[in-house]
């Protein structure tokens, strides 16, 4: 027979002996058994993105501005009643919301009269939040609870004072998914909530949140994590897991993640499994996992293109694709490499800049073609050929007539043709 075990508002009829209770106790309430304290499934594996989820503002990665504001707000006890965090997937919106809730309700040694910017992690409130059973911190997924009735439940809950912490906190994830009626039902409470209530919203699409809601919240944009910082974080996590990782492997993971910490950790989880039992993550392992390409190979293709050698560039591109690299990934790598070259030319005032910009325009055009092509690899190869032939053209500056021909002479066309490789000047003599 199984007992009905619950965490907050969630109850699961399961045998109690299936759980290892490291700390905590059982509480009976309304004919249900609630397990309070640290709980873990026996032998349960936790993915890296959850295992190393930050629990303090100091642990947030790449969100220094947001962390500084929240820290100052908490220290000065000037805390808004509604927050909204927005940005791309996997950069810490929900994590920041939970950290903020943790700070707001940390009770310290029991004599702490206000919120703390550095939660203790040992008080009943902190422990309850760590175990996902805090009765005053409620997290809702607006993607599955979009209606007015769901919002009415929240509004009714605001009438009750907190039981364990200092505030009753409502975290609504993907808030842009709420219906128009649900947003309207929330407006009055959001504008003037009871003193003990805080709202924390998170969304990936702030443009879909009504202006009437945004105007009632303190909004924070969470930024994608820079590749350099994300690569360093991958090496740090690998070291904590007692895994060795090559620098280039970490760089490729950071690039593939596109600024998302969660995506990067998910890739790292995969390559760790493939690296067993050697506990060494090589660049080849990462490339096989994500279908990427070595940076040196991408640079080699670009060098062959700029040298006007389409045969060599095509052969190398085909070899990389045959090894498992997705055409879009290779194409994106070429774009990034060309962009870095253009940026370097701008800093050095290089005369080759105009030709590089022309190649960039060709790449952008081929990007649109790849999106609609049935065989994007064909578009990639064709783009490499076009780029290589275009790169072999003389520089635009070289085609410009810098000296004025003598008055009455007919050699203007000849001067132009002499600057074009392969042109037959004799035909106009």
Q: What is the pLDDT of residue 1?
A: 37
Q: What is the pLDDT of residue 347?
A: 80
CA 335, CA 362: separation in Å to the nearest integer? Answer: 10
Structural domain span for residue 7: 3-41
Kind of pairing, strands 39-41 and 19-21? antiparallel
Domain count, the chain: 5
- 117 with 212, same domain? yes
Verify that 245 and 299 share a domain, yes or no.
no
Is residue 204 a contact partner of residue 94, using CB atoms and an 8 Å limit? no
78, 144: one domain: yes
Quick one: pLDDT at residue 2?
40
Residue 62 CA to residue 262 CA, distance in Å, equals 13
Decide which of 174, 204, 221 is a domain's last residue.
Answer: 221
**Nearest CA among 330, 327, 314, 302 for reference residue 381:** 314
381 shares a domain with 407 = no
Same domain, 89 and 177: yes
Burial class of 97 by CB neighbour count within 10 A (0 to 12, 13 to 18, 19+): buried
**pLDDT by position in tens, the chain (length 429):** 344 333 333 333 333 333 333 344 444 444 444 444 444 444 578 899 999 999 999 999 999 999 999 999 999 999 999 999 999 999 999 999 999 999 999 988 777 778 888 888 888 888 999 888 899 999 999 988 888 999 999 999 999 999 888 999 999 999 999 999 999 999 999 999 999 999 999 999 999 999 999 999 999 999 999 999 999 999 999 999 999 999 999 999 998 898 999 999 999 999 999 888 888 999 988 988 888 788 888 999 999 998 889 999 999 999 999 888 888 889 988 998 999 888 888 887 666 788 888 888 888 888 888 888 889 899 999 999 999 988 877 665 565 555 555 554 455 556 555 555 565 555 545
Contacts of 39 (CB under 8 A, 6+ apart): 7, 19, 20, 21, 22, 24, 131
Residue 199 sits in a domain of what CATH number?
A: 3.40.50.300
206 plus 57 within the same structural domain? yes
**Last residue in a domain, options 270, 290, 310:** 290
Tell whether 122 and 216 lie within a shared domain: yes
Residue 203 in contact with residue 84, Cβ under 8 Å? yes
Query: What CATH number does the domain containing 334 carry?
Result: 1.20.272
State whether residue 425 is helix, strand or coil: helix
233 and 201 in a common domain: no
Strands of 82-86's sheet in order across: 137-141, 168-173, 197-203, 82-86, 218-221
Tell me how far CA of residue 327 lies from CA of 11, 239, 281, in angstroms: 47, 32, 24
pLDDT, position 394? 65
CA 136/CA 129 separation, integer angstroms:
9
Nearest to 37 by CA among 49, 56, 55, 19: 19
139 lies in the same domain as 212: yes
Q: Both 179 and 88 in a single domain?
A: yes
Q: Which two tokens stand for residue 236?
A: 């740090």
Q: Is residue 98 exposed (0-12), middle (13-18) or buried (19+ Cβ within 10 Å)?
A: buried
Q: Given 290, 316, 345, which residue is the final one in a domain?
A: 290
Q: 246 and 154 share a domain?
A: no
Instruction: Clarify whether residues 89 and 127 are in a common domain.
Output: yes
């Amino acid at each position: 027979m199984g007992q009905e075990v619950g965490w907050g508002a969630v109850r699961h009829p399961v045998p109690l002996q299936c759980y290892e209770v490291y700390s905590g106790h059982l509480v009976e309430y309304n004919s249900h058994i609630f397990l309070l304290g640290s709980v873990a499934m026996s032998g349960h594996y936790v993915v890296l993105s959850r295992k190393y989820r930050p629990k303090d503002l100091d642990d947030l990665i790449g969100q220094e501005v947001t962390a500084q504001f929240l820290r100052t707000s908490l220290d000065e006890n000037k805390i808004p009643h509604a927050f909204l965090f927005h940005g791309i997937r996997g950069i810490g919106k929900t994590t920041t919301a939970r950290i903020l809730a943790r700070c707001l309700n940390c009770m310290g040694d029991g004599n702490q009269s206000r919120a703390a910017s550095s939660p203790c992690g040992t008080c009943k409130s902190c422990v309850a939040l760590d175990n996902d059973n805090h009765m005053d911190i409620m997290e809702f997924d607006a993607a599955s609870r979009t209606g007015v009735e769901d919002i009415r439940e929240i509004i009714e809950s605001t009438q009750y004072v907190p039981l364990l912490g200092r505030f009753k906190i409502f975290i609504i994830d993907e808030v842009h998914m709420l219906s128009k009626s649900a947003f309207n039902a929330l407006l009055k409470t959001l504008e003037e909530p009871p003193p003990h209530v805080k709202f924390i919203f998170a969304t990936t699409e702030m443009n879909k949140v009504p202006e009437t809601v945004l105007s009632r919240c303190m909004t924070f944009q969470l930024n994608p994590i820079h590749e350099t910082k994300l690569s360093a974080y991958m090496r740090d996590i690998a070291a904590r897991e007692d895994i060795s990782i090559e620098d280039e492997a970490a760089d490729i993971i950071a690039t593939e993640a596109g600024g998302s910490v969660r995506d990067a950790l998910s890739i790292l989880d995969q390559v760790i499994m493939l690296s067993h039992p050697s506990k060494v993550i090589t660049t080849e392992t990462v490339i096989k996992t994500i279908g990427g390409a070595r940076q040196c190979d991408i640079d080699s293709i670009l060098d062959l293109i700029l040298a006007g050698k389409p045969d060599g560039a095509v052969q190398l591109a085909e070899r990389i694709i045959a090894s498992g690299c997705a055409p879009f990934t290779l194409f994106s790598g070429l774009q990034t490499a060309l962009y870095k070259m253009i940026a370097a030319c701008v800093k050095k005032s290089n005369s080759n800049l105009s030709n590089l910009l022309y190649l960039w325009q060709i790449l952008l055009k081929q990007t649109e073609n790849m999106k609609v092509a049935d065989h994007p690899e064909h578009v990639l190869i064709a783009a490499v050929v076009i780029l290589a032939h275009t790169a072999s053209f003389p520089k635009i500056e070289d085609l410009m007539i810098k000296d004025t021909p003598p008055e009455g002479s007919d050699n203007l066309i000849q001067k132009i043709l002499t600057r074009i490789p392969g042109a037959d000047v004799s035909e106009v003599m």
